[in-house]
Chains A and B, each alone.
Chain A
Amino acid sequence: MSGTAAVSLAPAAYAPPAGLAAVRRGAFAVGAVAAALSLLGAWMDRGQFFRSYLVAFLYWLSIALGCSAIAMLHHLTRGGWGLMIRRVLEAASGTLPLVALFFVPLLFGLPELYRWARPDEVQADALLRHQAVYLNAPFFISRAALYFAIWCGFAWVLQRLSARQDATGDPALPRRMQMIAAPGLVLYCLTATFASIDWLMSLDSRWYSTIYGVYFVGGHAIAGLSFAVLVALYLSSRGPMSAAFRPIHFHDYGKLLLTFVVLWAYFAVSQLIIIWSGNLAEEITWYRGRLLGGWSGVSLALVTLHFALPFLLLLSREGKRNAGRLSVVAILLLVMRWVDLHWLALPALSPEGPAFHWLDAATAIALGGLWLSAFAGRLARRPLLPIRDPFLPEALAHD
């Protein structure tokens, strides 16, 4: 506990690095160019555009939502571990209104993506007629509006309380944030589950799995934490935060990431074992399309690069403490999240195998550039640590 005295709590000590402004401008420029290219692609090949765009949207959503959920988990448990990355999580969850905006173009592509949005097919299919009470465009859109209202609402309220804490240091605030985070997490799990059914599972409306929402949420946790760790590593590589971060902080994040990776694999393998053993025609087809044929390579990549390799790398102490090695794992996981979303979404639309299209990259870069620019802008607005949180000295002196 000897480090406590040496720690400074002045806001100026945690001013955002100057490089963030350049990141903001650069990301915006790249995003704008890619967005223009994507629009051109939409004009050339409408169907392909919406497929690519769906995955790109879900990808950046998963990072923003994952960060928001981890922030709520931090408020709920009042764990000291979250303080060092709280600003990163808050900046990312603050972008959720922008992500809601990203959702809007999808509304123009519902018939291209979903069978339930094509009236002639619904007429011809008894199951789709049954599901039409739930899977119809007006209800689909109102649900999406509700999901985003809840996600943005909780992020906004917690953000405001956090800003008030910076200003006043009111000791009652952590408790209030805890009280908001609890229902926030419950609602997040429910809305994310139904969002996963609406946006992903209904691509192939014959197939269903009760663990699907949990798997989706697990993916958010990995995406959010990998991104937050990567930003924390970037911040810790230059002043002023290089003095605040210690290897033990990253050791903790590495452990948490390891936990999330193992949980994700556990959800995935639970689903596989149950469906494989049951071997029912309506269920196993989902795996047949993914494990055999053109998508099998992607499945193998998920097992090795989304689970086995990160697992082994994160198991060792050095893998968690060494900035270089941890950033490799975080980048790998962020890439594999994108692959996993492809694997979830696209076999329903292109069953013969993965057909990489330049629009996949263009849409992902377009949304990513705009999103990162907004994120960097938000991160630069406030001190990089919640300087008046009562537990910050403890977190800084963590040994």
Chain B
Amino acid sequence: MEQTPGTGGPRAADPGRPPLIAPGYTSATVTDKISAVVLRGTPRWWFAAFGAAFLLVMLLLGTLGHLFLKGVGIYGVNIPVGWGWDITNFVWWIGIGHAGTLISAILLLLRQEWRNSINRFAEAMTLFAVACASLYPVVHLGRPWVLYWLFPYPSTMGVWPQFRSPLVWDVFAVSTYATISLLFWFIGLIPDLATLRDRAKSRFAQIVYGMLAMGWRGSARHWHNYESAYLMLAGLATPLVVSVHSVVSFDFAVGIIPGWHSTIFPPYFVAGAIYSGFAMVLTLAIPLRAIFGLKDFITDRHLQNMAKVMLATGLIVAYGYLIEIFMAWYGDNRFDVYMSLNRMFGPYAFQFWSLIACNVVAPQALWIKRLRRSPVFLFVIAIIVNVGMWLERYVIIVTSLHRDFLPSSWGMYSGTVWDYSTFVGSIGLFLALMFLFIRFLPMISIFEMRTILPEARVEEARK
């Protein structure tokens, strides 16, 4: 097999490439350390944290119950601003999901071994983020019980979805994305599930992990099929990293609303998605590695690499802002010019300049190596970028809509308490799922970590 994870030559000793795993580990100690998080008893703080997240899930369910009883009127949306927090949150969550697929698929194909310690929980993050995201368009439908009309089933009413509408493409893009992400994550888990099955002490855990491991015995034949399947899925997942957020950007760009109708949208949305996704991975990874003592596996080099990806994608996003403003001036279309000025100096100027401060100004600190090395600083920047990317979607959606072409149809928008509770509730859902994941499944891929151990290199060289 070529390009299996971890066949890159004797890199650990090379100048300029610090090791991906702290020295002194063997296959057995790596396995012990990662599986112990799952197999030993539940720490007390976990119950507190999960309980808090669970309360937020209850808040979400309560809000949705109220929504289904009363209708979307409980939200702040109005005419002209028919899209508000819900779509902002949808785009924000789906964007966050992109880092997982990028790390698991594209970095695998690029033979970037540093991905091995972060891909597992980044993929889990993707799944949970996609789950939170797909909630929004559904509850926002007004009549969510006819959700199935979105699918092109042979309807007895002779009604088909409008295939020219990107909103329909969204259904396909997001559901494909969720399916492939789930498969990729689960297939990646199988060898580790078998490890847990073999190491679990309780009969119940042995049975559950055993069923999930699908009869994995680790034979050469198993590994051979496994590697092929994994590479194939990576190949399939790669275009999805680009396609999903491109389709999301089409939701806006194919219309003729000034501020939405811009050809740079697809690549700039994809870059923004990866930007926010890496910010979220850092937001999760920095506390996790501190709490579970995993700094030997998720090293400072990992954090630095992620910081660099964030800096690069942040610059692409800044390029998008710049070129949009320049073209509005250059083309001299009065609506485009007005929209740009309104964004910068209109009633939502505060949100706009906050977004520039969060997304463009703050991340420039990542050029400085000393700051990239500080986990605390990175954590702060990652939070700022998360906020900035939420604001970006809010500004794009609200400022483009609230001043319609005719001043008679101008309006203002702000979210209601139900908008806030839906959003906070979805963060609770995300965190609750995340806590369940780190409690019951290995958050770092055990077998892929073994491939980057120095002893794996020795064996490879002997071959």
Contact = CB atoms under 8 A, between A and B. Distances in A.
A380 B242 CA distance: 41
A278 B15 contact: no
Contacts, number: 89
Interface string B172-190: 0000000000000000000
A190 B323 CA distance: 10
Interface string A231-271: 00000000000000000100000000000001000110011
B256 A280 contact: yes
Interface in A172-195: 174-175, 182, 186, 189-190, 193
- Residue of B239, B250, B331 most packed against chain A (CB within 10 A): B331
B330 A399 contact: no
Contacts of A213: 323
A391 B14 contact: yes
A197 interface: yes
Interface residues of A, number: 42
B255 interface: yes
Contact of A210 (B315, B324, B333): B324
Interface in A153-212: 171, 174-175, 182, 186, 189-190, 193, 197, 208-212
Nearest to A210: B264
B323 A193 contact: yes
Contacts of B265: 210, 270, 274
B293 interface: no
Contacts of A270: 246, 263, 265-267
A32 interface: no
A6 interface: no
Given A78-B16, A274-B254, A208 B330 contact: yes
Contacts of B11: 394
Contact of A131 (B242, B256, B330): B330
B10 interface: yes
Contacts of A391: 14
Given A210-B323, A270-B246, A278 B256 contact: yes
A399 B2 contact: yes
B319 interface: yes
Contacts of A1: 9-10, 460-461
Given A1-B10, A186-B315, A390 B15 contact: yes
The 8 closest A-B pairs by CB, nearest first: A277-B254, A210-B264, A211-B263, A270-B266, A208-B331, A271-B263, A209-B263, A211-B264
9 contacts: A1-B460, A127-B332, A197-B330, A210-B263, A211-B263, A211-B267, A213-B323, A397-B9, A399-B2
Given A186-B315, A274-B266, A278-B255, 13 more contacts: A1-B460, A2-B461, A210-B264, A210-B320, A210-B323, A211-B263, A266-B242, A270-B246, A270-B266, A271-B263, A390-B14, A390-B15, A394-B9
